[in-house]
Every structure is written in structure tokens, then in C-alpha cells.
Amino acid sequence: MSVMVAVSDSPEGAAALAAGVAEANQLATDLIIVNLSLTEVDTTSIPSTLNFKIIERKGRDDRDPAEAVLDEIQDHAVDRLVIGIKRRSPVGKALLGSISQRLLLDSPVPVVAVKVGLQDN
């Protein structure tokens, strides 16, 4: 039993990581972090009491990030997937191709989708 979180190098990725940590703590289980960015994941906010594993996206450089996450779900005993999502316009919602949308539709496990709060301009 574990919680998997897909982390990109974005505010959505940071929000997903925070939610994934909270989810793993609540369920008293391990956290699997799939790093979708080209940089190292900042793990300083993860409590030392939480067991976690970081999986770097491997394969071809142009490998689809959604496929990478779905493959990792199949390879590990994952009970829940946590992802960050962007605010999208009605037209954007109608267009397919978003990594988050594909994970929501194709994940074989329940998905927790975290939306980053809107900032006042």
C-alpha cells in the first residue's frame, strides 16, 4: 500500500507534493514520488518520519510523462495517485492532451487532483 505523487517543476507540482505527503501521513503509508521535471525534487518539506522513494522518469528523452506515471502505477502497489492541476478555461477543458487530464481518465487507482489557489493580481 502506498500513495504516488506526480511532481513537475511548477506550482502545481509543489502543491501535489504537499498533498501527497498529507495523504501518505493520513493513511500511514509510504510515498512514491515520480519526478517529471529535469531538476531534483525538493524533499526538505517531507517529514523524516515518512518513508518515501523518488522515481526519476526514465526511458527516451521524449517519453510521454503520463505514460511514465501510468507505467509506475503498474509496477508498484499504489492505492492512490496525487496530481496537481492548472486552472483551465472552458475551451482548454475541451481540448485533450493535458497530462493531468490523461492521468485522471486513465489511472487504474483513485486520483486526488489538487488545484493551486488563485493569486490576486
Position 121 in a domain: no
| pTM, 2 dp | 0.85
Q: Which of 85, 40, 35, 44 is nearest to 65 (CA)?
A: 35
Whether 89 maps to a domain, the answer reads yes
The whole-number pLDDT of residue 39 equals 84
CA angle at residue 26 from 19 to 52, to 5 degrees? 65
Q: CATH number of the domain at 30, please.
A: 3.40.50.620
Residue 54 lies in a domain: yes
pLDDT along the chain (121 residues), means of 10: 91 93 94 90 92 81 81 90 82 65 92 75 38
- Residue at 71 is within a domain: yes
Rounded distance, CA 28 to CA 9, Å?
26
Q: Report the number of distinct structural domains present in the chain.
A: 1
Give the H or E element holding residue 14: helix 11-27
